[in-house]
Amino acid sequence: MTEMTASVTAARPPSDITKRSLPASLIIHALLIAASLLMLYPLLWMVSASVRPETEIFSSTSLIPSSIDFSSYARGWIGLDVSFGRFFWNSLVISLLVVTGNVIACSLTAFAFARLRFAGRNFWFAIMLGTLMIPYHVTLIPQYVLFLDLGWVNTILPLVVPKFLASDAFFIFLMVQFFRGIPRELDEAAMMDGCSAWRIYWKIMLPLSLPVLATAAIFSFIWTWDDFFGPLIYLNDMNTYTIQLGLRTFVDSTSASDWGGLFAMSTLTLVPVFFFFLFFQRLLIEGIATTGMKR
């Protein structure tokens, strides 16, 4: 009976199958497009509001402004006591340092857990995974007291230095899973040729791990670029503000708020994240798809 059904299906013209599935495909695509537009509407409205006259920002929900006015960009860039370019530079420096620290420190730690044998490896790996369940706010006060005693408050050091100490357990776990999928025969062959553990890490593991490294770099950049709470706690001087703190200065509950400048600068802050993601998109998808899979 099964063979007969298979033969009938095979004998059915492909055009019949295509005609029957075409209406369902059109409905699915229409629903997906509608859902995409619904999710993109707030973003598109923000971009539209950034070029509206100040008096029309909250008077209409339309995405098409009645007139184009780019004065909000000039006002937002130089309208504060500190140029918004300074905020961009601060965020860029912090984000790139965090990316560098996470990629180097987390890959070294993951290599040790995945490839090296040492006493208590499973125990320390379990402890590392346990830190994923600890909320950031639980360790906030002890960390702040420590950084205050070190004299690091109002500097970028509390936001950057912990990343060079492999403090992000999520990326360590991600890389461990990826490293375990790389055949151990490569390590054994390299050791027979006289390679040390450091050379195996540098010459073999890193070149084969570009997808997972790119995944860690992208997430580190986006999370750091969008971080508001960390800079709010540790940065007090306006000259050290990141873009998120800079955006907050446009809104004042006790006086007039510059909504046009806020939306204009918010639009500009999306540009680096967009291009960073676009540049590493292929490696990001490959890293997520292959993590944890045996090769």
Q: What percent of the chain has pLDDT over 90?
A: 39
The per-residue pLDDT for range 14-51, each reduced to its tens digit, is: 555 555 587 888 889 889 999 988 898 988 899 898 88
264 CB-near residues (< 8 Å, 6+ apart): 50, 51, 72, 73, 75, 76
At residue 37, the pLDDT reads 87
Q: Map tokens 């299906």 to a residue.
A: 9
The per-residue pLDDT for range 57-67, each reduced to its tens digit, is: 888 778 888 88
Tell me the pTM: 0.83
The answer on pLDDT for 70 being more than 70 is yes
Average pLDDT over residues 75-92: 89
**Contact (CB, 8 A) for 153 and 165:** no
Average pLDDT over residues 129-147: 91
At residue 274, the pLDDT reads 84
Rounded to whole angstroms, how far apart are CA atoms 98 and 227?
12
Tell me which of 21-25, 186-190, 258-262 is least confident: 21-25
At residue 15, the pLDDT reads 53
The answer on pLDDT for 108 being more than 90 is yes
Average pLDDT over residues 262-278: 87
Tell me which of 10-19, 239-248, 253-262 is least confident: 10-19
